[in-house]
């Protein structure tokens, strides 16, 4: 039998790669990881974690304004200092980088802090030497992608936003997906004059149509939305950016952020030395076991373009490690994976939208409610909340739960368990609510839309 330097060589120490390494090592495998940039990947460094910290910062805007109706004075005079936020965020991210590295160290994983390139089905070149492994796992993630148009180089991506030295006074955000909606919300609440340009008429393609309509209306109270529009050109005049729109309009701004999607980071990885099939966007094609068309090479996380979510990458990495080194043979279900968009108010959803349910052939009943939170009876805040249940008429199973409300993700996580257990509308109905909460609405909806 052929001897290898390692049982598993993982390229990329992000969510999926670190989880796979740790689990593989815990089952006795000899593991190495190569990471050329930062430990923890996108999520820890330029994604979920710092974004959520920025989102907390933005929420204080409403908290201060809301407090007056409850008898507090002076809070609305609070001022915001962006460099303090960025500095404190950096300290926390550095701490997390250290934790990720120590997870690898504590599991006796060999770390190469440099770029690895695949040189054959069982070999990589790293630090100028060839290293062999029985299995190779590609977990390199993705990178922001910006369309090309005149002046598109002036646009920054979410990566640069985390390092901005100064908060702009005026920003234009291009796109209507997760990142665009979240950052536009954050900037607007931090006091930046915010414009969002999106080529469709409702934000967040792929979400339930009523959720899209609701959040589009909510967000339009905080910023200027340029819907069914696109940026055609950006010019720079001294320090001012002149953003030309397809509709003929022009916006003057200090910063343009393109949040137009991400692409797998598969170039210059040595994939042309092996038989790994790529999608048209450069993603790695894998089978249900995350095995590529080169049998010794696996891939997980954003690079396989299934669901670009940290918990999904963790689950994929763990599944492969257990399969290869513990003989486990589980499959990962992509059904009922809850997700949240941290805009204002938050959106969280699990299961099918009404439109997805109908396209899948279900006849559905929908229960919909729109209301003002109890808190806002005294705060005077005009923010509204929205909830929707999508129910299969035939089986009474709840197919989808959609919530647009503060901390929606905290609420929907528990309902994801219920949906995974096959909960019916009757199960929801016999559940006693917690009063007074927003979440009780989800178990007290009796009238079909
Ligand atoms: P998305 O795919 O969500 O959104 C990209 C947006 O850019 C879409 O609105 C898209 O329009 C638009 N777009 C694409 N190409 C062009 C173009 N040529 N011109 C104009 N607009 C364009 O990507 P994001 O970058 O927002 O996020 C990447 C992924 O990261 C998400 O899909 C999600 O899986 C993950 N993520 C998850 C978060 C969370 O869990 N909270 C937070 C942030 C990211 P259209 O809709 O018409 O295609």
Q: Which of these is catalytic: 61, 226, 344, 435?
A: 435
Range 49-57 average pLDDT: 98
> What is the average per-residue pLDDT within 29-39?
97
Could you report the per-residue pLDDT of 366-387, keeping only the tens digit for each? Answer: 999 999 999 999 999 999 999 9
Give the Å distance between the CA of 176 and the centre of ligand 1.
7
Among 179, 215, 340, residue to substitute to test ligand 1 (most atoms within 8 Å of Cβ): 179
* Position in ligand 1 atom list of the atom nearest CA 340: 41
435 is catalytic: yes
Mean pLDDT of the chain: 97
Model pLDDT for residues 223-242, shown as the tens digit of each residue = 999 999 999 999 999 999 99
For residue 440, the CA-to-ligand 1 centroid distance in Å is 32
Residue nearest to atom 41 of ligand 1 (CA): 341
Fold of the domain spanning 339-443? Enolase-like; domain 1 (3.30.390)
Name the closest-CA residue to atom 16, ligand 1. 260
Ligand 1 atom with minimal separation from the 341 CA: 41
- Between CA 39 and CA 244 the distance in angstroms is 39
CA distance 111 to 149: 40
For the domain spanning 6-143+263-326, the CATH number is 3.50.50.60
Q: How far is the CA of 166 from the centre of ligand 1 (A)?
A: 25
Of all residues in the chain, what percent carry a pLDDT higher than 70?
A: 100
Return the pLDDT at 146.
97
Please state the domain extents for the chain: 6-143+263-326, 152-260, 339-443
Q: For ligand 1, atom 30, which residue shows the shortest CA distance?
A: 308
Residue ranges around ligand 1 (CB below 6 Å): 147, 175-180, 182, 199-200, 205, 230, 259-262, 308-309, 339-342
Ligand 1 centroid vs 210 CA: distance in angstroms? 19
Query: How remote is the CA of residue 84 from the centroid of ligand 1, in Å?
Result: 29
Nearest CA to ligand 1 atom 48: 205
pLDDT tens, position by position, 2-22: 799 999 999 999 999 999 999
Which ligand 1 atom minimizes the distance to the CA of 259? Answer: 25
Instruction: Please give, one letter per residue, the 3-state secondary structure of the chain.
Output: CCCCCEEEEEECCCHHHHHHHHHHHHCCCCEEEECCCCCCHHHHHHCHHHHHHHHHHHHHHHHHHHHHHHCCCCHHHCCCCHHHHHHHHHHHHHHHHHHHHHHHHHCCCEEECCCEEEEECCEEEECCEEEEEEEEEECCCEEECCCCCCCHHHCECHHHHCCCCCCCCEEEEECCCHHHHHHHHHHHHCCCEEEEEECCCCCCCCCCHHHHHHHHHHHCCCCEEEECCCEEEEEEECCEEEEEECCCCEEEECEEEECCCEEECCCCCCHHHCCCCECCCCCECCCCCCECCCCCEEECHHHHCCCCCHHHHHHHHHHHHHHHHHCCCCCCCCCCCCEEECCCCCEEEEECCHHHHHHCCCCEEEEEEEECCCHHHHHCCCCCEEEEEEEECCCCEEEEEEEECCCHHHHHHHHHHHHHCCCEHHHHHCCCCCCCCCHHHHHCCCCCC
Q: Which of 151, 198, 261, 263 to mutate to test the pocket of ligand 1 (most atoms within 8 A of CB)?
A: 261
Query: Which residue among 234, 260, 346 is best mutated to probe the pocket of ligand 1, counting the most ligand atoms within 8 A of its Cβ?
Result: 260
**pLDDT of 140 strictly over 60:** yes
Atom of ligand 1 nearest to the CA of 178: 26
Fold agreement between 6-143+263-326 and 152-260: yes
298 CA → ligand 1 middle, Å: 26
Q: Which of 46, 45, 15, 48 is nearest to 342 (CA)?
A: 48
Q: Write the residue with the smallest CA distance to atom 28 of ligand 1.
A: 261
**How do 224-227 and 193-198 pair as beta strands?**
parallel
pLDDT digits (tens, 9 = 90+) for 318-369: 999 999 999 999 899 999 999 999 999 999 999 999 999 999 999 999 999 9
Average pLDDT over residues 124-149: 98
- pLDDT in the model for residue 2: 72
How far does the centroid of ligand 1 lie from the alpha carbon of residue 261, in Å? 4
C-alpha–C-alpha distance, residues 254 and 257, integer Å: 10
pLDDT at 1: 54
How far CA 264 is from CA of 44, 226, 236, 342, 361, in Å, comes to: 18, 29, 30, 23, 33
Residue 427 above 80 pLDDT? yes
pLDDT at res. 76 = 86
The CATH number of the structural domain formed by 152-260 is 3.50.50.60
């Amino acid at each position: 039998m052929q001897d290898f330097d390692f049982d598993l060589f993982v390229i990329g120490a992000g969510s999926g790669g670190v989880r796979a390494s740790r689990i593989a090592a815990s089952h006795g495998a000899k593991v190495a990881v190569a990471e050329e940039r930062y430990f923890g990947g996108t999520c820890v460094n330029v994604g979920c974690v710092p974004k959520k910290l920025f989102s907390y910062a933005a929420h204080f805007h409403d908290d201060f304004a809301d407090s007056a109706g409850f008898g507090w004075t002076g809070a609305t005079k609070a001022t915001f200092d962006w460099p303090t936020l960025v500095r404190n965020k950096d300290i926390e991210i550095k701490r997390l980088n250290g934790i990720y590295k120590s997870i690898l160290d504590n599991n006796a994983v060999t770390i190469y802090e440099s770029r690895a390139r695949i040189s054959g089905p069982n070999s990589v070149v790293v630090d100028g030497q060839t290293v062999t492994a029985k299995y190779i796992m590609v977990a390199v993630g993705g990178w922001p992608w910006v369309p090309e148009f005149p002046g598109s180089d002036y646009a920054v991506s979410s990566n640069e936003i985390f390092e901005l030295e100064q908060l702009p006074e005026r920003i234009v955000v291009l796109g209507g997906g997760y990142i665009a909606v979240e950052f536009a919300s954050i900037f607007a609440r931090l006091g930046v004059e915010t414009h969002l340009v999106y080529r469709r008429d409702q934000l967040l393609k792929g979400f339930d149509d009523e959720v899209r309509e609701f959040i589009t209306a909510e967000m339009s109270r905080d910023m200027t939305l340029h819907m069914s529009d696109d940026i055609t050109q950006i010019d720079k005049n001294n320090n001012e950016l002149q953003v030309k729109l397809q509709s003929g309009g022009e916006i003057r701004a200090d910063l343009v952020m393109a949040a137009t999607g991400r692409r797998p980071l598969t170039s210059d990885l040595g994939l042309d030395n092996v038989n790994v099939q790529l999608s048209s966007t450069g993603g790695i094609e894998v089978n249900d076991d995350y095995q590529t068309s080169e049998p010794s090479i696996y891939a997980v996380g954003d690079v396989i373009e299934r669901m670009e979510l940290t918990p999904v990458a963790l689950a994929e990495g763990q599944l492969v490690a257990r399969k290869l080194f513990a003989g486990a043979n589980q499959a990962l279900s992509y059904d009922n994976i809850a997700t949240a968009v941290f805009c204002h108010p938050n959106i969280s959803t699990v299961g099918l939208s009404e439109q997805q349910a109908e396209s899948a052939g279900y006849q559905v009943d929908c229960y919909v409610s729109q209301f003002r939170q109890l808190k806002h009876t005294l705060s005077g805040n005009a923010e509204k909340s929205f909830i929707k249940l999508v129910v299969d008429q035939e089986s009474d199973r709840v197919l989808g739960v959609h919530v647009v409300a503060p901390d929606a993700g905290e609420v929907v996580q528990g309902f994801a368990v219920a949906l995974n257990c096959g909960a019916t509308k009757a199960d929801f109905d016999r559940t006693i609510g917690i009063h007074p909460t927003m979440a009780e609405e989800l178990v007290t909806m009796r009238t079909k839309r």
